[in-house]
Amino acid sequence: MHAAWLTDTVTPDLDRAIHYTLLWGLDAVELRTVGGASDRVPHVNEEKLRRRLDEHEVPVAAVVPGLFEGPASARAARLNEVMELDATLRFCARVGCARVVVSSFAAEDGATDAAADVLRRAADAGARHGVTIAVLNEPGMRCETGTALAALLDAAGHPSLRAAWSPTTAVQAGEDPQAGLDALAGRVALVRCANTTVAGVPSPLSHGVVDWHAQLATLAAQGFAGPLSLELHLEPKPRWGLREATALLERIRDARRGSGTG
């Protein structure tokens, strides 16, 4: 496992994002908005992006194009998004990215078959490009918990479809984050790292409801080797970024020692 961060939780500015990546000792970036407020991947200044990434040898752990945020029951619209996914997959090939993070659809009753069908199609497209499609559990969406996300992955039944796991979202939805991670065992492609109080207020990694030592120990035991992507919500963000990155790196080292991987 290695440390990354979701850059636009601090800044959409590419140069500042790379500066913080290097300053905080992180290994990679997760890209969502890069440039202006409406510059969502893959529709960004790709020439500049590739040049800066190459200059500083910063890899892209994942991209977040904003797909599958609407209701799965609007099947035609979601299938159009599967076609739109191709532009993101080609972008991934050019920037050397192996993961696309997508949403789990808007919250609604039913439409499980429709959701599963769309994800299977997306995973098929990703597999053709050698890119993993990782479905994120998010607040207010179809899947807020690890258990719900695991059920959706089961319904899709695609061998290369994976989870983008947010234990903070799960605990805010009332799930024990260890139970959520157990439900997703072996299917996690990326982990979003943040913390919260019981009241839902952003908290440092070391002081919130989520036990990150336990999460990383479990991930290590499950053989997880992907990115742990830091989200930053505490102000001032640049100062907290250094503290949170340091805390994440310490927990990664502890998890490696505990698993005997060095």
- pLDDT tens-digit series, residues 152-181: 999 999 998 999 999 999 999 999 999 999
- pLDDT value at position 257? 85
Residues in the chain predicted with pLDDT less than 50, given as ranges, are 262
- pLDDT value at position 92? 98
Q: Could you tell me the two tokens for 140? A: 């207010």
- pLDDT value at position 23? 97
Contacts of 54 (CB under 8 A, 6+ apart): none
Contacts of 65 (CB under 8 A, 6+ apart): 40, 41, 42, 84, 85, 88, 100, 102
- pLDDT value at position 262? 47
